[in-house]
């Protein structure tokens, strides 16, 4: 039989070969924007809204097709008859066509802004999931370090117990601590799987593909506080809707008057003039049709367009205020999380490490019990986890702040 290390080596080589054969996407926070632009299926589908708006723009602002009219008349014995051919065209007497074209151009720009807004939200969502993955990874690394320390402590207690120099109960309690921390790691694995599951669709990945999130959570750094709502694509779309509503008001005013119709016609007529025989006669003429705005002057549609314009102006104003408040709130959260991290780094974590070492030294000298050691280590681990949570929340607030500024 092969010794156990050889079997372990074979299993390790087999695992490495399988992992190397599987496709793996390596992504970081800097590359997520380009990945979403290139691979997100929802964004790719939404881009056709621009083509739809472009098609509508090409179709609007055109005259209606001309009309060809014909008529033929004959008497019962077909000796007399009349043939008439006419050509007519409708023309607007207002600037309706140019207004329609202007609205379609504005709608095209609005569609482009909506795509940028969708991209902004997708990038923010992807970065949020990636930050969660990075935070879970750092938390897991912290727990692994704690397992290493707890395992070393457990082995020392077990060895002392076998020599009769320590308590078997203390050794069992130390092993329980190791198992408890291992259970926390498995819980983090499940949380990471959930975060990766949210991230994959945003990056346009297929089932079965694996992903590796690169990088670490950087130390906190407070960004500038300049807020310009005009940089946000949703605000740009809102302002374009205001322009479209204003153009819609002008269009409804123009629609008070229907199109006029002008045409040419030619007729040939054959009549019998008894007793002189048959006469052939040709006629040419012009024809006009002018609608009279007596019963419908489009008053209701004009009022609706005015109300729509006022509503969209107020909505744009409210959105600008919301953007400023959102950015202000996110920045305030970053400041508070950064203060907490600084306090933990400068005061609480060093104090917890000192207390943990002092408790371990006191236990080695039989000056305290094992529960004191565990409580000191638990407090140190809790503070380290609090720091990671604060760092995670800081970066999540930063992502929201960048998204509120229109940066992605």
Instruction: Report the C-alpha gap between 102 and 104 in whole angstroms.
Output: 5
Q: Burial, 397: exposed, middle or buried (Cβ in 10 Å; 0-12, 13-18, 19+)?
A: buried
Q: What is the pLDDT of residue 268?
A: 87
Torsion of CA 357, 362, 364, 368, to 10 degrees: -120
**Residue 205 per-residue DSSP state:** P
Q: Where does 203-257 have alpha helices with state H?
A: 233-254
Q: What is the pLDDT of residue 366?
A: 73
- pTM score: 0.80
The tokens of 382 are what? 């809790």
CA proximity to 242, closest of 403, 113, 402, 59: 113
Q: What is the pLDDT of residue 12?
A: 42
Domain boundaries of the chain, sorted by first residue = 24-60+92-258+293-404, 67-91+259-292
Q: Where does 48-95 have alpha helices with state H?
A: 48-59
Cβ 163 vs Cβ 122: under 8 Å: no
Cβ 35 vs Cβ 27: under 8 Å: yes
Q: Helix, strand, or coil here: 314?
A: helix
Cβ 189 vs Cβ 143: under 8 Å: no
The residue count for the chain: 408
CATH class of 24-60+92-258+293-404: mainly alpha
Q: What is the pLDDT of residue 168?
A: 67
CA proximity to 103, closest of 208, 251, 1: 251
Q: What is the pLDDT of residue 157?
A: 61
What string of DSSP letters covers 88-123?
EEEE-SSSHHHHHHHHHHHHHHHHHHHHHHHHHHHH
Q: How many CB atoms lie within 10 A of CB 156?
A: 14
Instruction: Report the C-alpha gap between 122 and 347 in whole angstroms.
Output: 39
Q: What is the pLDDT of residue 29?
A: 87
Q: What is the pLDDT of residue 152?
A: 66
How would you write the pLDDT of the chain (408 residues) with one tens digit per residue? 334 343 333 344 444 444 444 557 888 888 899 999 999 999 999 999 999 999 999 999 899 899 999 998 887 777 788 889 999 999 998 889 999 999 999 999 999 999 999 999 999 999 999 999 999 999 888 888 777 766 766 666 666 666 665 566 666 766 777 788 788 889 989 999 999 999 999 999 888 888 888 888 899 999 887 889 999 999 999 999 999 999 999 999 999 988 999 999 898 888 776 677 677 888 888 988 988 888 888 999 999 999 999 999 999 999 999 999 999 999 999 999 999 999 999 999 889 888 878 877 787 777 776 667 767 777 888 888 899 999 999 999 999 999 998 887
Strand 81-91 vs strand 24-27: parallel, antiparallel, or unpaired? unpaired
């Amino acid at each position: 039989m092969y010794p156990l290390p050889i079997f372990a080596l074979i299993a390790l080589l087999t695992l490495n070969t399988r992992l190397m054969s599987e496709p793996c996407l390596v992504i970081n926070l800097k590359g997520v924007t380009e990945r979403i632009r290139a691979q997100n299926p929802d964004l790719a589908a939404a881009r056709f809204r621009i083509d739809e708006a472009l098609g509508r723009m090409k179709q609007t602002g055109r005259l209606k097709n001309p009309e060809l009219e014909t008529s033929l008349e004959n008497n019962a014995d077909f000796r007399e008859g009349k043939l008439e051919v006419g050509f007519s065209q409708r023309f607007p007497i207002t600037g309706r066509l140019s207004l329609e074209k202007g609205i379609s151009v504005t709608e095209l720009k609005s569609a482009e802004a909506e795509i940028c807004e969708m991209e902004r939200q997708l990038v923010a969502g992807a970065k949020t999931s990636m930050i969660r993955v990075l935070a879970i990874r750092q938390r897991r690394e912290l727990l692994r370090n704690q397992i290493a320390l707890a395992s070393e402590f457990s082995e020392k207690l077990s060895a002392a117990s076998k020599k009769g120099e320590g308590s078997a109960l203390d050794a069992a309690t130390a092993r329980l601590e190791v198992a408890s921390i291992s259970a926390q790691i498995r819980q983090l694995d499940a949380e990471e799987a959930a975060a990766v599951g949210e991230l994959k669709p945003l990056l346009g990945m297929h089932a079965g593909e694996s992903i590796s999130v690169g990088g670490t959570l950087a130390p906190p750094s407070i960004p500038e506080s300049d807020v310009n709502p005009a940089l946000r694509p949703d605000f740009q779309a809102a302002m374009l809707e205001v322009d479209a509503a204003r153009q819609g008001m002008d269009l409804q005013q123009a629609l008070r008057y229907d199109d006029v119709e002008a045409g040419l016609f030619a007729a040939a007529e054959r009549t019998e003039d008894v007793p002189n025989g048959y006469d052939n006669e040709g006629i040419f003429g012009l024809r006009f049709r002018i609608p009279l705005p007596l019963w419908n002057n489009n008053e209701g549609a004009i009022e609706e367009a005015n109300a729509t314009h006022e509503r969209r102006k107020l909505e744009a104003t409210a959105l600008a205020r919301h953007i400023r408040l959102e950015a202000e709130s996110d920045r305030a959260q970053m400041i508070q999380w950064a203060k907490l991290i600084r306090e933990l780094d400068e005061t609480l974590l060093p104090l917890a490490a000192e207390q943990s070492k002092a408790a371990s030294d006191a236990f080695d000298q039989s000056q305290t019990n094992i529960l004191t050691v565990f409580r000191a280590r638990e407090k140190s681990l809790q503070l380290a986890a609090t720091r990671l949570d604060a760092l995670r929340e800081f970066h999540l607030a930063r992502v929201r702040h960048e998204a509120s500024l229109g940066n992605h």
